[in-house]
């Protein structure tokens, strides 16, 4: 069994829980996920099965689409709704939509983020959340991320009990902390803030419309259609350029041979396909620019 299970992760599961549950349902150990989602978050979580585990790093490295709710008036230690409140500043009056939209525009493009203390980022070999649980403050490394698009959803805000909330849609690069983005948007508006809800709608080419819940997966398995749920490897690599080869080159690629670089190739990394099958991921040779070499062979 090889391919991508397009799972819709429901609230209450960790990403590791989803891998464990899928292993039991599909009766295979070789499954990996493509980007952690917290238990309070729902959304697209592609699971790579069998040979597809070889593309986990490439699918993880894709652009993501999220819908999040920013709540102004309180900030929390975890930057989301699950943490203890650490700062309050009541929002006494509604903020004009034009001001919110103007602030959101400032976060488009390449921005700097400082990851939250409650995150899996490592500092000196130790996860930040481990330091946080021990009450130890450490200097967190700043990182650059890319926000391709950010917009205000529904063009309305909710204002009650000293808090103001609005929803945003974000298209961003790997490694973007939406929690931190919400906090930074709040700071730019002059208020403590946190992320009160989050849904991931897309990972690479795999979107909500492609996804299935565990109940739907189990129903298909019960009817003997489990393998039909899997998307082909090519679906997880649609964001990478493609080089098509004829049948007579198939064995050379399958054996991972270093080959002459075709003149028409411009991408530094690309998937090699024969008809509709992805055979490998290749790259321009790092020391021999007139050659191509394998990165992954399937």
Catalytic residues: 38
Q: Are 115 and 121 in contact (CB under 8 A)?
A: yes
Q: How far apart are CA 133 and CA 163, in angstroms?
A: 28
Element counts in the chain: helices (H) and strands (E): 7, 19
Neighbours of 94 (CB within 10 A): 10
Neighbours of 25 (CB within 10 A): 16
Q: How far apart are CA 219 and CA 204, in angstroms?
A: 26
Q: How far is CA 79 from CA 85, 105, 230, in A?
A: 9, 21, 35
């Amino acid at each position: 069994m090889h391919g991508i299970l397009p799972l819709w992760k429901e609230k209450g599961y960790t990403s590791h829980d989803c891998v464990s549950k899928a292993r039991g349902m599909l009766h295979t150990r070789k499954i990996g996920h493509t980007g952690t989602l917290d238990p309070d978050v729902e959304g697209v979580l592609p699971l790579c099965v069998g040979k597809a585990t070889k593309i986990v790093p490439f699918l993880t490295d894709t652009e993501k689409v999220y819908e999040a709710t920013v709540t102004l008036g309180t900030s929390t230690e975890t930057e989301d709704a699950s943490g203890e409140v650490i700062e309050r500043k009541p929002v006494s009056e509604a903020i004009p939509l034009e001001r919110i939209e103007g602030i959101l525009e400032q976060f488009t493009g390449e921005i700097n983020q400082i990851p939250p203390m409650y995150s899996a980022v490592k500092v000196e070999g130790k996860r930040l959340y481990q330091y946080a649980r021990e009450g130890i403050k450490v200097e967190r490394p700043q990182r650059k991320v890319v926000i391709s698009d950010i917009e205000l959803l529904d063009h309305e805000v909710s204002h009650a009990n000293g808090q103001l909330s609005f929803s945003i849609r974000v298209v961003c690069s790997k490694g973007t902390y939406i929690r931190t983005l919400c906090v930074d948007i709040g700071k730019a508006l002059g208020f403590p803030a946190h992320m009160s809800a989050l849904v991931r709608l897309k990972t690479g080419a795999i979107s909500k419309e492609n996804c299935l819940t565990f109940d739907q997966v189990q129903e298909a398995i019960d009817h003997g259609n489990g393998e039909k749920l899997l998307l082909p490897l090519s679906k997880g690599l649609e964001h990478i350029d493609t080089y098509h080869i004829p049948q007579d080159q198939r064995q050379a690629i399958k054996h991972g041979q270093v080959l002459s670089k075709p003149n028409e190739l411009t991408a530094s990394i690309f998937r090699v396909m024969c008809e509709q099958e992805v055979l490998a991921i290749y790259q321009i040779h790092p020391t021999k620019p007139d050659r191509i070499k394998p990165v992954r062979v399937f």
